[in-house]
Amino acid sequence: MPSDGSCPFVFGVGDRNGCVCCSDHGQLREDNSVRESSLKCYFACLIASDPVSALLYCEEMDDAGISSFWGPVTSTIELCEENYAYSSYIAEFYNTISNIPCILLALIGLINALRQGFEKRFSVLHISNMILAIGSMIFHATLQNVLQQSDETPMVWEMLLYLYVIYSPDWHYRSTMPTFLFIYGAVFAVVHFFARFGIVFKIHYIILCLLCVPRMY
């Protein structure tokens, strides 16, 4: 950033007029809490009258963690993939697009379940699979803490549905089972939203998965 506070992305003018990287009709964004996308940054680099200064400013933005359209990463977990490697709109590219087959398979399963007249629990499970995949896409694309819940909470809901699907035929209190699981899932969603569980969430999810194992044989 120039020492006089002017923006480098101007069309031959040493002030903020005509700035392509600023908002609010030319008011310079100096607050680091406001994050510009790298796409806009690179676009500014191409059309700036002083490309050298523009590129240096782009590097400063990257160093400050401003290359993300969604802002700085606030999630409590990141997987083994470089963030924003292909797009400023998608943080973890492969973790995001890998959910597309999950959505398609769940949709195919839902269509088959409806065509063949399966019990409603199977249709609900396929819908849950789609919701989980969509939530996972949103989370991995943004890596925002609040949107992390759109991935983790549906994971628990889906496991509760699996428990219902595989245990309900032999459940002695079958009429109360859906009510219990619904209340359990709702309470977890609220508590997890405020508590933001880390290792507790992982242990809880593993336990739910293990509860399904006895019915797999």
- Taking alpha carbons only, the member of 43, 93, 92, 32 closest to residue 66 is 32
Phi, psi values for residue 56, rounded to 5°: -60, -40
**Among candidate residues 139, 2, 12, the one with its CA nearest the CA of residue 77:** 139
| Residues near 127 by beta carbon (within 8 Å), at least 6 away in sequence | 106, 110
Q: Tell me if 99 is assigned to a ligand binding site.
A: no
204 marked as binding residue = no
- Identify the CA nearest to 150 among candidates 162, 140, 164: 140
For residue 158, say whether it is annotated as part of any ligand binding site. Answer: no
List Cα–Cα distances, 64 to 60, 68, 100, 145, 202, in angstroms.
Answer: 6, 10, 32, 19, 31
* Distance in angstroms (rounded) separating the CA atoms of residues 121 and 119: 5
Question: Is 83 annotated among the ligand-binding residues?
Answer: yes
Query: Under a CB-based contact definition with an 8 Å cutoff, are residues 161 and 128 in contact?
Result: yes
- Please give the annotated binding residues for Ca(2+), written as ranges: 81, 83, 92
- Please give the annotated binding residues for Zn(2+), written as ranges: 140
- Please give the annotated binding residues, written as ranges: 81, 83, 92, 140
